[in-house]
Each structure stands twice: as C-alpha cells, then as structure tokens.
A and B are shown apart, each in its own frame.
Chain A
Amino acid sequence: MSESPNFSPTAGTYRREGGSAARRARRKLSCTGNAVQPGMHSGSYKPLSERDIQRIHDTALDILTKIGIGDPLPEILHYALPKGCILGEDNRLRFPRSLIEDLIAISAKQYMLYAPDPRNDFEVGGERVYFTSAGEAVSILDYDTQKFRPTKLVDLYDAARLADQLEHIHSFGQPFIAADYSHDLYIHDINIAYAELAGTSKSFALGIAMVAHIEPIIALFDTYLGEEGAFLKRPFCTFGGCPIVSPLRFGKENAEVLVKVAELGLVGDIAVAPQAGATAPAALAGTLAQSFAETLACMAVVNLVKPGSAINFGMWPFISDLRTGAFTGGSGEEALIMAAAAQLCNHYGFITSVASGMTDAKTMDAQAGYEKAITTTAAALAGGNLISTYPGIVGSLLGQSFEGMVIDNDMLGNIQRLVRGIEVTDETLSFSVIEDTVFGSGHYLNHPQTLKLMQSEYVYPDIGDRRTTGDWQDNGQETIYQLAHDKVKSLLSGYYPEYIKPDTDSRIREHFPIKLELEDMQVGNGRW
C-alpha cells in the first residue's frame, strides 16, 4: 500500500484516493472521529435557582463590604484605596458594593488562550467547555515499581509529552511540582517552564511561587521566540496560584503574582479553594457565598490594576471529610458544589474555572473511576469554561499517575459527548430510515445513515475495553489499568517532539540554569 493516498506506488499513476493507507491516516487523526470537539457549549445542569444565585450574590457582597479581606498587600492597597475601598484598623480591606458591581461589569468575559502552536489556540469564555490539567502533587506512582515516590523534573517533561498526545486534555496545567528542585525555587520555576515548553505544543500553565520569577520566565519564553517582548504579544502560558488564604485573607506570595500578572496584561489563573467545614462554613451555601466573595476580591484586584482584565474566575469550593478534617475531592458534595460554582460564575459571564477529578483513591481503581466521573460530568454539564479535570491525579491531589492520564482521557472524551447532547431534527428522527429498514434489510448496520454517523454520533474509547468476556478471558484478563500501563509506554517511548530547536535550546541553556538533560529528552534515555 502506498503511504501517500493519491499516488500509485508503482508508476506514479494517479489513483483514486482510498484504501487501507488512506483510511488509517484518517483514523489516526482522531480516535474519536468528530463526535466531540474542544469548546462545545454547555450549561444545562443548574443546581441553583435564580433566587439562590441572588441570595448567594447578596451574601458575598455583604461579606466583602462588612467583613472584607484580611492582610492586603501594599500593592493592592495602592490600587484599591483610591477607588473607595476602605482599610480598617483590623487590617482588612472592605470593598464598596457598587465598586464590586462595576468591576463585575467591566471584567473581561472572554479571551484567546494562546498555545505555542497556534493550531492549539482557543477562545475561552461564553458557554464553551475546555478540559485542562492542574495540580501541585508531590508524588507520582512510579511507572516501573508502581510505588509512590517524589515527583521529579523529568516526570513533568514526560507528563507534558503525554498530555500533548491526549486528545481530550486541551490545555496543560502543571500537575505537580519538581520535588528534586524544590529547595531552590528559582531553579524550580525556570525549569518547570522549560519542561512544559519542551514537552507540549498546547497552552500551558505554571504555578509560580515567587513574583520575582515571572520576568525571568518571560525572558526564557522570549529567547524561545527569538524576540524580546514577543511572549507578551501572544502569551501561551498562564501564571497562577492561590492568592487567597481562606477564610478571607490574602496570601502574600500568590497575591503578589496576581498583581504582577495583571500589570503585565496577562490573564490571572487563580484557584480560590476554601474547604467546607474547615476553612469555610459546613453549610454548602455558606461555602459558596464565602468562596464567591473571595474570588470576587481577586477579580476586583486585577480589574483595579488594569480595568477590563481577564481572570480565570477560579472559584473552587472544596469539601472536608469531617471524620478527619482532611480534604476530600471525590465526593458527591464536591461534584455538586463545584457545579453550583460554575453555574454561579456563568450567571455573571465570568471566565469560569472549576475543578473536578480530584479523587481520593490512591490508584486508578473503581473509586477513582466513579469519583472522577461524577465530579467531571457535573462540572462539564454545569458549563465550566476551563475545567481542571486533574487527569491522572490521585490521592486527594497529592499523587500523579501516568496511567491515570490515559484512562481519564477516555473518560473526558465520553463526558464531552454528554456535553454535546442530542440533536433532534427531522433528519435525525429518522422516520424514513426506520421505514426503509423495516421494509428492507431488517437491520441498520449497512444503512447509509449508519455509515455516515458511525463516527460523528459516537465516541469510541481509546483503551476502554468493549471486548466480550470470552475475548478478555482468552487474552490475559487485562484491566483498564494494565491497558493504560502499556499505552503510556507506547506513547512515551518514542515521542520526543522537537518543540525547541537545537540552536534555540543552546541559547536558552546559555542564559538559564536548565537542569533537564538533553539525553533525557531523546529516545534511548533508559527511562522508557
């Protein structure tokens, strides 16, 4: 068979396009055909009534007006006090109600999320749903030993390469830290930026600990782009963190990052994550009100710095297991409250960022499956614009599993199918197709409609096992985990994209303390 579908392998005679090679090439483009695509419209799941939303809104504004946010930074006061915010003797910054309402109105409602490869750019906002990864995990289930060990920089590079190949992870948020460099935060932050840039052509996000590291990272990106100032014209990376320490205080380092990002005209990528029962009220409605107030404060800050700024409105109400006080990410309450957060934020047209998939299971078992599925389904149907689905993250956000990323990718494809819904038209109601079939062949398998819709109506799992029990039994009785384990190796052993050209790489390494070794970035490194 010819590699090129158009030409005969023999004499160069023009051939009809078709045959095995052409079909394989087409199928390779997408394992799910065109049944789902990034950015489908959503928002049908609405756990709150209009009146609920109004009451949460009123309470949140009461919180900002009367209780305020503690420990405001001088940088924040610089922008906030001239606009009528009041700093109390208790060192809490109180926001006038009308100011918050004005800032809600001017806050950007959508923006273009750029990627290193423009084909992966997408516009965030509206009713569109995208899936991203995220996290601050510190351990990883080692591929070979299947035991948790501290995460390394090279793991981050591998995770980026893996996400680069997983269709339903639309953007790559840093899922874990590089624990091998956590003793030197400058080296850490420079290197996570490099590892993600080297590993993926999708947009990516960094959790940056120190404001002083932002400009060097931007300089690294400018070196990559070959021109000073180029990154800010087309920022393919967002910087973020948690600028609020609940309940209702600013967290110094991350709030500094937030202000700096806004000053640079970049999108603030925040996560405000009060924990119901521990750092927020046990009443879920109260947690919604507090977390909405806290996130509104962040939105206010960036818009005080620069009116019209965009912010990923990361209202992430978390849940506590009150038996221990520990965070639980996989509960029904988590699915519910995060969906409510998405609905609430969408109500104002914010760029809604919510979280899902934060299973408490320690490995990708049945518990992980149901917890990830219920939380992600709820968030997606509620219309989160950017859903941090935590692909492959286990152990209540503390562990990463590469196998889990592959399994979750399948799940995300199927959840997008729920988002898409059912198109009911005269054509899809299929009366004439039914009539043709009943009075014809008696089955639909070879009806032209079936042929036409077999890929556009249905999502097919990449590794999800649909074989018969007999087939499964005769072929090693592999679980999805084992299939994912093999898939990880097949995806990572030969895929070393050269996103950073060698001469550019040399220039980057001249100016920045890059710790990711070149030999670890090519085939034959012994890792895979």
Chain B
Amino acid sequence: MTQEVNETEEDIILAELADDELVEQMHDDLYDGLADEIAEGTQILLDRDWGPDKVLEKALVSGMNIVGVDFRDGILFIPEVLQTANAMKAGMAILSPLLAEIGAEPVGKMVIGTVKGDIHDIGKNLAGMMMEGAGFEVIDLGVNTLVEDYITALNEHKPDILGMSALLTTTMPYMKVVIDELKSQGMRDDLIVMVGGAPLNEEFRKAIGADTYCRDAATAVEVAKKMVGERRAIAT
C-alpha cells in the first residue's frame, strides 16, 4: 500500500501547509507508514515553536488513534499497522530527547521479553512493535529471558510495564517465577505486569499474580495506555 501511495504521490511541500493542514497530512502519512514524511512533519512543527508534547499529542498520538480504529474494524492489516508503527518511531526518535528535556511525561516505557525456555517470539515482537507504534518506549529483551535478566533490565530502565510472553504450556509457569522474584525484591508494586501468549488466559493471569492478560497485541496497546493513565492519575 505504501508503495502505491508513493507512486501516486503529489508534489506537496509539507512546510508550505498551514498547521492544521500539516497535522491532517501527518495523520494520513502516519496511516500510510511514510516514516520520512513523519520525521519531516515533526521537525516542521517543532520549528514552528510547537512544544514536543503538543506535537506528540496532536500529530502523532491522534494519528495513531485513527490507525487503532481502522485496525479494529479490519480495514488495516497487521503488515500495514507495522508500517505505521515504523513511521511513529521516526517521529518519536526526534521527540523523545526533547520530551525528556522539558520533563514531559512520555507515553510510557515497557520492558518486554519471552520467558526462559521459550524461543517463540512473533507474538512478543508484534506486541513490542505495536507498543512502539503507540508511542511507548520499548526495551526488548528477546527470547529465552532469565529472571535475572528481567530484574537487571527493570532496574536499569525503570519502566511502567513489564511484559512477558510464552507460547508453550511448559514455559508459561516461568512467569510466576519472575513475578515471585519481583515480590521478594520489593519491585512488584512499581510495575504493571502484563502477560500474553496463545495458551494463556485470565485464570492463569490471576493464578500467577499478573496485572493483566492481553489476548493480542492490539489489546495490549489499549490496556497499556489505560493502565498507565490510571496509575499516573492515582500518583498525582
């Protein structure tokens, strides 16, 4: 689809568009996964003295909301959503340091990894990419992640969310090992623990003491945004 869009691309100059038109164009470009155009648009808005938080909210997050709706409605397919996520990342690469500078709260941060013994990572990768698409910073620990690796990463990055995934019924109990270790180190309450994977369900989530079970990557994004928002509301 992106290729088709590029082929029919008109000669438009983003810098010549008025703010509201540029934002609408960025929503479309985000939707169409045009990473270079998103980076360019992001920079133009910053150059027009928009704060990074305003650019994030008005141009990028609102654009990704449209993506979310169309994914839910079956209009956008996963490969297309990943393209939008890639475009979002291009915008975030510019905005993230600026957001940190002004002390603006980022959308959220997540450490994610497939648990020890399991090397099936497509679901975890998908969740990670979709989270990035929603503006989250994602630290991906890869596959076969040991409890000590999770703990090290959590200490280093101080994320809002820990995400764990497993495809095998034999590896999913390891999630409880990680959660129990978090508890024993007094870290459990600082985190939203999110679990996912084909064989998991709500009962398992309760049994291991995770905060939320998400059946797919899109659900994970929605739940993550909601839960991070709630925690921040309580904190303030």
For this complex, into which size category does the number of interface residues on chain B fall?
35 or more
Bound-complex Cα distance A468 to B201 (A)? 11
B15 at the binding interface (Cβ < 8 Å): no
A9 to B17 CA separation, bound complex (whole angstroms)? 13
* Whole-angstrom CA separation of A438 from B23 in the bound complex: 37
**Interface-centre pick from B66, B77, B129, B216 (highest chain A CB count, 10 A):** B77
- The contact of B31 among A23, A443, A447, A452, by CB within 8 Å, is A23
Q: Mark B1-45, 1 if CB is under 8 A from A, else 0.
A: 111010011101000011011001101110110100000000000
- Give complex CA distance A468, B202 in Å: 13
Q: CB-CB contacts of B40-72 with A at 8 A, as 1s and 0s?
A: 000000000000000000000000001001100
- Are A445 and B122 in contact (CB-based, < 8 A)? yes
A16 and B10 contact, CB distance less than 8 A: yes
Contacts of A17 in B (CB 8 A): 5, 8-10
Counting CB contacts under 8 A, is B116 at the interface?
no
Q: Tell which of B79-87, B93-101, B151-159, B174-182 binds the partner.
A: B79-87
Residues of chain B contacted by A14 (CB below 8 angstroms)? 10, 12
Which residues of the other chain, B, contact A10 by a CB distance below 8 angstroms? 18, 20-21, 24
- Is residue B118 within 8 Å, beta carbon to beta carbon, of the partner chain? no
Interface string of B97-127 (1 = CB under 8 A from A): 0000000000000000000000001100110
A455 and B20 alpha carbons, distance in the complex (Å): 33
Knowing A11-B21, A20-B70, say if A450 contacts B79 (CB, 8 Å).
Answer: yes
Residue among B28, B82, B125 with most chain A CB within 10 A? B28
A23 touches B79 (CB 8 A): no
Q: How far is the CA of A447 from the CA of B8 in the complex (A)?
A: 21
Choose from A15, A23, A451, A455 the contact partner of B70 (Cβ within 8 Å): A23
Residues of A within 8 A of B29 (CB): 16, 18
Q: Is the CB of B32 within 8 A of A451?
A: no
A13 at the interface (CB under 8 A from B): yes
Residues of A within 8 A of B79 (CB): 445-447, 450-451, 454
Q: Are A451 and B2 in contact, CB atoms less than 8 angstroms apart?
A: yes
- Chain B residue with Cβ nearest A24: B75
Closest to A19 in B: B28
- In the complex, what's the smallest C-beta–C-beta distance from A6 to chain B, in angstroms? 8
B112-146: CB near A (< 8 Å → 1, else 0) gives 00000000011001100100000000000000000
Taking CB atoms, residues of chain A closer than 8 Å to B215 are: 468, 470-471
Q: Does A20 lie within 8 Å of B12, measured CB to CB?
A: no
Residue numbers in B under 8 Å from A447 (CB-CB)? 79
Interface assignment of A442: CB less than 8 Å from any CB of chain B: yes
Structural contact, B75 and A27, CB atoms closer than 8 A = yes
Contact residue among B9, B74, B76, B77 (Cβ-Cβ distance under 8 Å from A16): B9
Q: Is the CB of A446 within 8 A of B66?
A: no
**Which chain B positions have C-beta within 8 A of A22?**
28
Residue B78 at the A interface, CB < 8 A? yes
Q: Is A8 an interface residue (CB 8 A)?
A: yes
Question: Chain B: which residue is nearest A451 at the CB level?
Answer: B79
- Given A446-B83, A452-B3, A15–B28 Cβ distance below 8 Å? yes
Give chain A residues whose Cβ lies under 8 Å from the Cβ of B121.
442-443
The closest CB in chain A to the CB of B2 belongs to A451
Query: Known: A18-B29, A20-B31, A468-B216. Contact between A13 and B122, CB under 8 A?
Result: no
Do B12 and A19 touch (CB < 8 A)?
no
- Report whether A451 and B28 are in contact in the complex, using a CB–CB cutoff of 8 Å: no
What 3 pairs between A and B have smallest CB-CB spacing?
A19-B28, A446-B82, A18-B32
5 A-B residue contacts at CB 8 Å? A20-B66, A24-B70, A442-B125, A443-B121, A446-B79
Residues of chain B touching chain A, judged by Cβ–Cβ distance below 8 Å, are 1-3, 5, 8-10, 12, 17-18, 20-21, 24-25, 27-29, 31-32, 34, 66, 69-70, 74-80, 82-83, 86, 121-122, 125-126, 129, 201-202, 215-216
